[in-house]
Structure formats: structure tokens, C-alpha cells
């Protein structure tokens, strides 16, 4: 059932009342780690954390519904993520405005052919990403198997463990390696989602061992 | 299940990557978080202190904003009731309008919503028509409070 605005406010007030300094310190560190990972920028990461916190604590803008997402840190990470998407969407929109476009021009008919071309380019990008990801995983049969099953709609570690006969822990470690390669591929092909090269080598080594 | 296109497949991978990263970070110990922040070029102690300070500021600000949000909600309720109500019919001079509004500001029940009404546009800058409309809202609010 949908929680009313007043109920949400009351729950948040109760949660805030219980949070001590150490809880806020840890929350900041978790959010910052996530925001920097997602944005690949320390500066933007800090800004995203600030925005997410402001949004949470503004009674008129807070969207936290504890009934849907009981973990506050996870909710804030989602806010960081959507703020980042908004940031990228507006940056893309700014880039896409033609320099010679007349802002008063009312006869702006959509060019359906151009639209189709955009879509074709986009589909091609995603297909190339998947191709490159498979190439990167070619020496890791288990990771490739997980990718195929994931694309087939089996997304939870439990479902993947059942399908592959491996343990959930083995699935989590190798799937993480696969997803991190996906982020790197997106970054290399000019996509939005990626992490810095050389990060998380320990995770990668562990996943190679599992495979 | 219908076959997904390349974009939908990639979106699914991306969504999983975000969720997996959330799970990974939430499972990190304090020391592990510190190590990740150092690797990213941050001083974990400084960041932790920033977190505590920012929270204290924002929580204080939240309390300040709470009464405004409540007053705005109350005002919106009254405005919608007011919209269904007829006009007063009586024509007042500007001095009378200002006098009645000033009087309402001294009423403890009305002071908050009236200050919200004039937050963006002070009474002296409003036209006679605007003052009249606001006074009608205030009167509706006063009726509601009785």
C-alpha cells in the first residue's frame, strides 16, 4: 500500500532521531564511494552526494518510502543514480542543440529519418558493447555462461546458481567480474557506465580463481 | 519471455551492475570503505566529519522547512475550498486592505500562512486586486481555523 506523505515524514523523522554521528559518517562514506564509482569523478561524486542528502531531508522533495525500500543508504544510492542520469541527460541535451538553431523557430518538424538513424546508431552501440563484453570474457567460460543466462532473463544469484550448479557465492563473485567488465566496455565505447581502469583487481583475481 | 533487443539487454546488464555495486558497498566494513576512499583520492576521516556536519546542518534546515511545508499544505487546502466559494462583494480601499492584512499577521493562528503568502511578493508591491484576493484567502483561512 502507498505510504502517505505525512507517514513518510514521520518515519524519516523517527529514523533521523535514531541516527548518531557515527551512522552519518558511515552513510557519507558509503554514498561517496558509490557516487564516485558511478560518476568516475571525485568532484561530481561529492556533488551528487550533497544533492541526494538535500533531497532526502527536504520535506517537500523527499521521495523515500521505507515500505518500498527499507534501507536508507540504498535509497540514497538510487537518488545518486537518478541525479547522475539527469545530469547526463541534460548534458546530452545541451550538446545536441544546433548552434544555428533559431529558438523562436516554431516550424520544428521532427525528421523521422534522423530519428531512425539515431536509434540505429544506438542499437549498434549496444550490440557492439555486448560483442566486446563477450570477447573480454572469452577465457572465462563460467562468466560467459552467466552472461548468456542473464541475457535470457535469469538475473538473481539464486536462479543462476540453480541453472549452473554452482554455489551462490561463486555466482556472485563471477557475476561481479562480468558486470565490471561491462562497465569498462561501456566506458571504452563512449558509454556512460564505467569505472576507472585498474580498480578492483582483487575482485577480478578472485573471480578468475572461481572460474 | 519475448526476445529483448540489444538496448534492452544492455539496460538489464547496466541495472544489475548498479544493484551489484550497491550490495558490494553496503557489505563493506568501515576499514574497507576507508581503503576505497583513499584509493579514490579522499581522506576518509575528513569525509566522515563532513558527513556528520552536513547531516547536522540539513536536519536543522529540515525542521525549519517543516513548518513552511505544513503552512503551504494548509494554504493549498484553504485555496481549494476558497475556489469553490463566492467573492465577498464588498469593495475596500487599499488602506483598508493593508490594515486588515496587518491585523491578520498579528493573529497567532494566521501569522505563519500569511507570511508564506507574502514570502515572494511583499504586500507593498502587490496590486489592489492581488491584495484583495489574498485578503479573501486569509478570511477563508480564518473561517477554517474557527
Residue with cell 492584512: B101
Identify the residue with better confidence: A184 or A92. Answer: A184
**What is the pLDDT at residue A105?**
54
> What is the per-residue DSSP string for A120-165?
HHHHHHHHHHHHHHHHHTTT-HHHHHHHHHHHTT--SHHHHHHHHT
- Looking at the predicted structure, is the pLDDT value of residue A89 above 90? no
For the question of an ipTM over 0.90, the answer is no
pLDDT tens-digit readout, A149-194: 999 989 899 999 999 999 999 999 999 999 999 988 887 886 544 4
**What is the pLDDT at residue B58?**
81
Inter-chain CB proximity A57 and B58 less than 8 Å? yes
Q: Is the pTM of this model over 0.80?
A: no
Mutate to test the interface with B, among A9, A19, A30, A33 (most CBs of B within 10 A): A33
Identify the residue with better confidence: A190 or A27. Answer: A27
Query: DSSP label at A91?
Result: H
- Looking at the predicted structure, is the pLDDT value of residue A198 above 60? no
Q: How close, in Å, is residue B116 to chain A by CA atoms?
A: 15
pLDDT along chain B (146 residues), means of 10: 80 91 95 96 95 86 74 74 62 87 86 81 84 84 72
Q: How many Cβ pairs closer than 8 A exist between chain A and B?
A: 133
Q: Which of B49, B66, B71 is nearest to A13 (CA)?
A: B66
Residue A189 near residue A128, CB atoms below 8 Å: yes
Which of A90-104, A122-136, A149-163, B117-131 has the weakest average pLDDT?
A: A90-104
What lies within 8 Å, CB to CB, of A169 at 6+ separation is none
* Dihedral sign of CA atoms B68, B73, B74, B79 in order: positive
CA–CA dist A38, A36 (Å, integer): 5
φ/ψ of B136, rounded to 5, equals -65, -40
What percent of chain A lies above the pLDDT cut of 70?
A: 76
Residue with cell 558509454: A191
At A2, the pLDDT band (50, 70, 90 cuts) reads low
User: Which grid cell is B50?
Assistant: 563532513
- Looking at the predicted structure, is the pLDDT value of residue A209 above 80? no
Q: Which residues of A touch B55 (CB under 8 A)?
A: 19, 24, 27-28, 53
**What is the pLDDT at residue A110?**
55
Q: Which residue among B16, B21, B24 sits closest to A155, beta carbon to beta carbon?
A: B16
**What is the pLDDT at residue B136?**
83
Inter-chain CB proximity B17 and A193 less than 8 Å? yes
pLDDT tens-digit readout, B91-119: 788 888 888 888 888 888 888 888 888 87
What is the pLDDT of chain A when averaged over all its residues?
81
Inter-chain CB proximity A155 and B12 less than 8 Å? yes
> What is the per-residue DSSP string for A50-63?
HHHHHHHH-TTT--
Q: Which residue among B6, B16, B51 sits closest to A123, beta carbon to beta carbon?
A: B6
CA–CA dist A77, A30 (Å, integer): 9
- Looking at the predicted structure, is the pLDDT value of residue A34 above 50? yes
Q: Which of A185, A181, A184, A174 is nearest to A208 (CA)?
A: A174
**What is the pLDDT at residue B41?**
94
What lies within 8 Å, CB to CB, of A48 at 6+ separation is A35, A38, A39, A80, A83, A84, A87
Amino acid at each position: 500500500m502507498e505510504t502517505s506523505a505525512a507517514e513518510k515524514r514521520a518515519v524519516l523523522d523517527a529514523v533521523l532521531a535514531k541516527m548518531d554521528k557515527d551512522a552519518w559518517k558511515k552513510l557519507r562514506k558509503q554514498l561517496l564511494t558509490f557516487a564516485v564509482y558511478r560518476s568516475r569523478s571525485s568532484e561530481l561524486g561529492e556533488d551528487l552526494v550533497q544533492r541526494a542528502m538535500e533531497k532526502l531531508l527536504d520535506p517537500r522533495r523527499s521521495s523515500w518510502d521505507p515500505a518500498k525500500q527499507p534501507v536508507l543508504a540504498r535509497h540514497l544510492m538510487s537518488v545518486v543514480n537518478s541525479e547522475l542520469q539527469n545530469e547526463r541527460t541534460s548534458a546530452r541535451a545541451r550538446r545536441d542543440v544546433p548552434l544555428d538553431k533559431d529558438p523562436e523557430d516554431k516550424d520544428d518538424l521532427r525528421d523521422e529519418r534522423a530519428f531512425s538513424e539515431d536509434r540505429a546508431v544506438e542499437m549498434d552501440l549496444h550490440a557492439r558493447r555486448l560483442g566486446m563484453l563477450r570477447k573480454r570474457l572469452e577465457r572465462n567460460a563460467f562468466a560467459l555462461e552467466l552472461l548468456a543466462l542473464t541475457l535470457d532473463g535469469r538475473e538473481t544469484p539464486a536462479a543462476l546458481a540453480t541453472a549452473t550448479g554452482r554455489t551462490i557465492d561463486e555466482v556472485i563473485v563471477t557475476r561481479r567480474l562480468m558486470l565490471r567488465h561491462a562497465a569498462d566496455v561501456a566506458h571504452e565505447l563512449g558509454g556512460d557506465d564505467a569505472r576507472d581502469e585498474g580498480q578492483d583487481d582483487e575482485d577480478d583475481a578472485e573471480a578468475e580463481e572461481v572460474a | 519471455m519475448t526476445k529483448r533487443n540489444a538496448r534492452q539487454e544492455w539496460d538489464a546488464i547496466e541495472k544489475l551492475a548498479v544493484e551489484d555495486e550497491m550490495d558490494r558497498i553496503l557489505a563493506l566494513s568501515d576499514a574497507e570503505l576507508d581503503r576505497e576512499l583513499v584509493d579514490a583520492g579522499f581522506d576518509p576521516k575528513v569525509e566522515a566529519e563532513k558527513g556528520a556536519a552536513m547531516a547536522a546542518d540539513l536536519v536543522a534546515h529540515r525542521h525549519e522547512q517543516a513548518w513552511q511545508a505544513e503552512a503551504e499544505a494548509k494554504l493549498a487546502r484553504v485555496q481549494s475550498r476558497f475556489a469553490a466559494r463566492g467573492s465577498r462583494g464588498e469593495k475596500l480601499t487599499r488602506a483598508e486592505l493593508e490594515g486588515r492584512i496587518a491585523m491578520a499577521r498579528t493573529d497567532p493562528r494566521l501569522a505563519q500562512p500569511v507570511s508564506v503568502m507574502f514570502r515572494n511578493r511583499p504586500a507593498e508591491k502587490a496590486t489592489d486586486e492581488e491584495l484583495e484576493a489574498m485578503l479573501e484567502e486569509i478570511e477563508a483561512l480564518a473561517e477554517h481555523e474557527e
